[in-house]
Amino acid sequence: MSVIYMVRHGQASFGKENYDELSAKGRKQCAILAEYLIRTEVSFDAVFAGDMVRQKDTAREIVAVYRAQKHALPELFIMREFNEYSSRDVIMAHLHDVTEDYPALKSDLEKLYIDKKAFQRVFEKIMARWISGEAEKPGLVRWQDFRERVQTGMRKVMVEAGRKRKVLICTSGGPISAAVQMALGLSDEKTLRIAWHLANTAVTSFVYDGERMELTAFNNTAHLDLLNASDWLTYR
């Protein structure tokens, strides 16, 4: 059987003008992961990433470490199917309605992008509204369409990579949770909840044979846990 390793991107730039770039810590997280994978003798026959900067740079940082240590890896292949949804677009589309429904959240608005707990409280309510499909907004991608796009990408990878292969996909929390949903048949609500627990550079793996895919590991952060320093474990 073949194996797919899906890696969430390294720490991005939460609270900065451009979130879509790795922080210095995020780049180091990627290097730590690559070194761990090399030590555990994991190699890859194909390397994919979404088309977002933080996703591509996560893959590039990993590939660079492999090559610096004389381990050959194939060229990075970009697949837009693994792009994350725009959380900013989802937030802006549903923010007014959610704060009207939950007035207690209004005090969180002014600190939305500087206080991670305030952001999470608002974000959870907005995401629940979005995935329900009951409050569609013109021009905003539906969760159901996003999910299908990611799962189509997974099927493409399984066909193109072939049998008895090890595949690396560097992406984000949304696509990883959609892939887990595909493997386990989870509801949209449960899929949303597991996405919140995905750490930066965490590894989620699947085995596949033909179109059958099974989850073998979820949100594995062994490479960071071995450092015995909790500040390396990040979620944005």
Concatenating the DSSP letter of every residue in 59-89 gives HHHHHHHHHHTT---PPEEE-GGGPPP-HHH
229 DSSP assignment: -
Are both 227 and 171 inside the same structural domain? Answer: yes
**Alpha-carbon torsion 121, 90, 158, 70, what sign?**
negative
Please provide residue 186's backbone torsions phi and psi, each rounded to the nearest 5 degrees.
Answer: -70, 155
Domain that residue 193 falls in? 2-83+164-232
pLDDT tens-digit map of 90-139: 988 998 999 898 988 888 887 877 888 888 889 889 998 999 887 788 88
Reported as a pLDDT band with limits 50, 70 and 90, residue 15 is low
Are both 67 and 169 inside the same structural domain? Answer: yes
- Flag whether pLDDT at 61 surpasses 70: yes
Are both 113 and 170 inside the same structural domain? Answer: no
Are both 76 and 170 inside the same structural domain? Answer: yes
Report the range of poorest mean pLDDT among 96-100, 108-112, 148-152, 170-174. Answer: 108-112
Reported as a pLDDT band with limits 50, 70 and 90, residue 45 is very high
3 DSSP assignment: E
Which pTM was predicted? 0.92
23 DSSP assignment: -
Task: Compute the distance between CA of residue 51 and CA of residue 82 in angstroms, rounded to an integer.
Answer: 7
pLDDT computed for residue 83 by the predictor: 98
Q: Residue 217: inside a domain, yes or no? A: yes
pLDDT computed for residue 172 by the predictor: 98
Task: Compute the distance between CA of residue 23 and CA of residue 54 in angstroms, rounded to an integer.
Answer: 9
Are both 202 and 98 inside the same structural domain? Answer: no
Q: Output the average pLDDT for the chain.
A: 93
Average pLDDT of 9-16?
Answer: 84
